[in-house]
Amino acid sequence: MGRPTDNPERRDRTGIAALLGWGELFLNSAVALTLSIGGIVLFAAVVYDFLRHLGDGPFVPRLLDLLSGLLLVFIFTELIITIRVVIASRAVEVEPFLIVGIVAAIRRVIVISAEAQDLIGTARFRDVLLEIGVLSGTVLVLGVTVFVLRRAPSREGEPTPGTDPGTVTTTSSPT
């Protein structure tokens, strides 16, 4: 039986796969770096804007703007964490994307809740309430999905829940 590198076609595919792997690493790293810079700039802008307008007008709308901006920074952070996990494990994990979705939906609820105060008694108020309901349902569904994923049996190579953390169960694949 020959070694896998004895087959020129297989060697070419392995080389292409390695090249694509390096390209993927480069792009993931570039995106993470860009998100990091954007997150830092956004954080500074949100805090600066809050402090600059602190004495102008009512406090609650300023606080809601700050919270909305900080949640957006948190979304950036979660995306960076997701990319870091993808780079480290070479696998895409679903849970961080679900958490980003939950945070994004909550952020939108906060923004439209602040707008809804001015819409009471108008025709648009019903639409805003409907949007809040849909977003709340989305948060609930995504939250249940995260819960189910955390309770699901472990995948190959990961410790199974309830076992000794030092024990890892793996399944071997036919060669």
The CA-atom distances, in angstroms, between 152 and each of 61, 67, 74, 155, 164 are: 41, 33, 27, 9, 17
Let me know whether 66 and 14 are in one domain: yes
User: Which has more confidence, 86 or 155?
Assistant: 86
- What's the pLDDT score for residue 169? 42
Distance CA 101, CA 142 (A): 7
Distance CA 99, CA 61 (A): 26
Q: Is the pLDDT of residue 26 over 90?
A: yes
Query: Which run of H or of E encompasses 165?
Result: none
Let me know whether 103 and 47 are in one domain: no
Let me know whether 30 and 56 are in one domain: yes
* Residue 110 amino acid letter: I
Let me know whether 79 and 111 are in one domain: no
pLDDT (mean) for 100-105: 91
Distance CA 110, CA 64 (A): 7
Let me know whether 84 and 99 are in one domain: no
Structure-token pair, residue 46: 């949100």
- What's the pLDDT score for residue 87? 87
- Against a cut of 0.85, is the pTM above it? no
